[in-house]
Amino acid sequence: MLITIPELLSKSEVAAFRAELDKAQWIDGKATAGEQSGAVKRNQQIAEGSPLANKLGDMVLDALARKETFVSASLPLKIFPPLFNRYQGGEHFGTHVDNAIRIVPGTPVRVRTDLSMTIFLSEPEEYDGGVLVIEDNYGTQEVKLPAGDIVLYPSTSLHHVTPVTRGARVASFFWLQSMVRDDGERTLLFDLDSSIRALASEYGTNDPEVVRLSGIYHNLLRRWADT
Ligand code: NI
């Protein structure tokens, strides 16, 4: 399921990211692409593992950990260190599927990519084009969000980014391995958790039916999760 979450980053946090990124050194985005995706990828990135990518990546990880909706929707087991990209002057990324396995640079850690994420760091009015187009089970979805918002989508999806014909589209992107590999099971858990939170706010966390539903949530998670 495709999920968008508003305001992962506040506007002042976005401004702090942009102050660093707008004066940074950018390299060819093919550096992290596989063979097929490399052939259709035209953009720029901050070098993987550079001090700036590490610093800003850690700030993204802090923001993710604070956002309950993100944790509930993704159930993260391993998060690949966030990267940063920029499209301008007609740059785009043709149709591809993200690599299934990513090795965290400089470590033996392998991350199976269950979910792909983009955090928008440019406001939609700053650029033309740059739409993230995702083909999922329910058809084609077009995503272009306010700065600070995040989209999560199954890494199994074919997707592309349309050419940026004015201005610049700056974003953070990364992948994660979820405790729950199956997208359908993960979606059920997210829906159940969202309903339990709504019921708990109306009837209290110790309402007997809220307690019973919380038990069902945890017993499903116990059944489906890898740790
Ligand atoms: Ni991709």
Quick one: how far is CA 120 from the chain centroid? Answer: 10
How far is ligand 1, taken at its centre, from the CA of residue 66, in Å?
25
CB 115 within 8 A of CB 70: no
3-state secondary structure of 155: coil
Question: Cα(37) to centroid of ligand 1, in Å?
Answer: 8
* Span from the CA of 160 to the centroid of ligand 1 (angstroms): 7
What is the CA(194)–ligand 1 centre distance, in A?
28
Residue 142 CA, ligand 1 centroid: distance in Å: 14
How remote is the CA of residue 197 from the centroid of ligand 1, in Å? 32
Whether domain 183-224 has CATH 1.10.3470: no
Say how many Å lie between the CA of residue 121 and the centre of ligand 1. 17
Q: CA-to-CA distance for 210 and 197, rounded, in angstroms? A: 9
Domains of the chain, by residue range, sit at 3-178, 183-224
The three-point CA angle 139-141-144 to 5° equals 175
Runs of H (alpha helix) within the chain: 11-21, 35-40, 51-66, 68-74, 183-203, 208-224
The pTM is what? 0.95
Q: Residues 3-178: name the CATH superfamily.
A: q2cbj1_9rhob like domain (2.60.120.620)
C-alpha 201/C-alpha 204 separation (Å) is: 6
pLDDT tens track, the chain, 227 positions: 899 999 999 999 999 999 999 999 999 998 888 888 888 999 999 999 999 999 999 999 999 999 999 999 999 999 999 999 999 999 999 999 999 999 998 999 999 999 999 999 999 999 999 999 999 878 999 999 999 999 999 999 999 999 999 999 999 999 999 999 999 999 999 999 999 999 999 999 999 999 999 999 999 999 999 99
Measured in Å, residue 138 CA sits from the centre of ligand 1 at 19
Gap from CA of 86 to ligand 1 centroid (Å): 14
